[in-house]
Amino acid sequence: MLRLMSTVLWALTLPMAWSHLGSTESPPRAVLPAAEVHGDLQDVSDESLRKIWSALPKEERKEISAWYRAECDRRRTLARQLERHVFHSLREARGNWGELEAAGVYDGAKHAPAQPIMRTMLAHQDPKVVAERKRMGLTQVEPAPAWVYDWATGMVLQSEQPLAPDHLFELALAGRAPEQDLAIALIEQSLDLGTLRPIHKAFSHTYASRTGTAYSGISLYDAWGSGVKIEMPDVECLGILHDVEDDWRSFRAPVPGGQQAPLYKRIGKMFHSIRRERGLAQALAASYFNADPTLDPTYASATDRLQLFWTKHDSALDVSRGTLPASSEWDAWWESLALLQTEEDLLERAAQRRMSLRAEGVRLRGIMVWVLREWGALKDK
């Protein structure tokens, strides 16, 4: 049973969603939103809206964000209905709430005592970190999610202020629903089979160079999955081997050149197993609300298959959870999704779902513009 950090926090997090759970046992079918948000509500730039928002007193921002959330419910937006289905289906979600914290580094003195190079952590916004993220092709969803799923612990984690009005405002500009971050994190949690937790935990450590420079916000999982040349210090490689397989004898630092390839091969197999599981769950979770999400390259060119998956299961989480493959069965399962493209009725419904999600993003942003105008913060032209 999901234990909450505090009942007050939970009540504040989902003030609208939980109150309607009794009527949302079944997921809503994707339908085109009603024409409530006219084109003239979309001709205000994000830059102009941000200037208006930043000039408002904090108390007014809080009231406007509450009104926006209420409007999303009153108009029965598709995104809010999908959110409610997630919260209803996953009421028994396993794990605990936690708070986002910086990832740790492997200890050189423990895992490579003959070569104990100390790690020096660079700040998240350090130019070297920014450059390394760019080199690795690591993109960040904006605004950054206030809730994420931690594959290392199996916990849903929150930022310091997950309910901040400023964050909700940025979500609205991006066409995302008020609690979409939390819903996506819960979907990921529900799709995690949980059998590879030790490997996920090992690869959650911060990526570091051979000289000990650690790049805040870049995990070993990110680095190994980037597809670019990366440094593989003995500390991190042996740390993974020690944590996952408890093998302290096969390799010792400094690892001789002739033993590096076998060591890297063992670690590569571990990474490959979790990448299939995690990448698929993340792609499906992101595609639940978004027709064009930012995805791992493996899935970025196959978003149609992901929409076919959700369409086939009518967006029902309780049905879809039992259909995901183990890592060893991923290839056959992924190809089976391609075969769904031969079903004309399913293709048509999947196309309808995509159109609905795209229109929904425009609609949500338009609702925020409408609220700002009704409040008097944004004047009519």
pLDDT greater than 50 at residue 162: yes
The pTM (predicted TM-score) of the whole model is 0.85
Please state the rounded mean pLDDT for residues 82-108.
Answer: 81
Read off the pLDDT band of 343 (50, 70, 90): very high
pLDDT greater than 90 at residue 256: yes
pLDDT greater than 70 at residue 378: yes
Read off the pLDDT band of 97 (50, 70, 90): confident
pLDDT greater than 60 at residue 273: yes
| Backbone phi and psi for residue 16, each to the nearest 5 degrees, phi listed first | -95, -40
What is the chain's mean pLDDT, rounded? 85
pLDDT at 24: 42
Read off the pLDDT band of 93 (50, 70, 90): low
For 169-197, write each residue's pLDDT tens digit.
999 999 999 999 999 999 999 888 888 99
CB atoms within 10 A of CB 306: 23
